[in-house]
Amino acid sequence: MTWFDHHRESTKLAAAARKLLRRGDERKAERLYEKAALEAERAMTLVPKERKVTFGVIAMLAHRLWRRARRQGDAARVAALIRGSPELFPITVSPDSTPPSPPRKRA
């Protein structure tokens, strides 16, 4: 399977988990979220190195799915991969690497 196949499977599992949550079956939903997070992590391992933004987006998905599966340790592990990696989200980094100024308040 390719990274895209794993990513697609992850999103399908997450959608099925959301349906279970709407029906009130939290336990089964959490198990599906766990499977979805595992698929997202498999996708992360297969994303080519030059596709940093794609890796970052899938890592964010994996983090969110682990949290929904109530697996905080796994979520923290994935978050550690993202934290401090501005190259994963280049659009959020200004050209001179200074944080953007806060919006001005209206009078």
Residue 36 maps to a domain: yes
Mean pLDDT of the 24-42 span: 96
Residue 79 maps to a domain: yes
Length in residues, the chain: 107
Residue 17 maps to a domain: yes
> In which element (H, E) is residue 31 found?
helix 26-46
- List the one residue out of 62, 61, 43 whose CA is nearest residue 3: 43
Residue 83's pLDDT band (cuts 50, 70, 90): confident
Residue 42 maps to a domain: yes
Lowest mean pLDDT among 28-37, 44-53, 80-89, 95-104: 95-104
Residue 95 maps to a domain: no
The pLDDT of residue 95 is: 52
Tell me the two tokens of residue 61.
């998905």
Residue 15 maps to a domain: yes
The pLDDT of residue 30 is: 96
Q: How far is CA 44 from CA 9, 18, 21, 38, 55, in A?
A: 13, 22, 26, 10, 6
pLDDT, one tens digit per residue, over 6-25 is 999 999 999 999 999 999 99
Tell me the two tokens of residue 73.
């340790």
Q: Which domain holds residue 50?
A: 3-85
Residue 99 maps to a domain: no
Tell me the two tokens of residue 20.
């279970």
pLDDT, one tens digit per residue, over 50-69 is 898 899 899 999 999 999 99
Tell me the two tokens of residue 96.
């001179």
Do 29 and 17 touch, CB atoms closer than 8 A?
A: yes
Mean pLDDT of the 39-57 span: 92
Residue 81 maps to a domain: yes
User: Hey, is 2 helix, strand or coil?
Assistant: coil
The total number of structural domains that make up the chain: 1
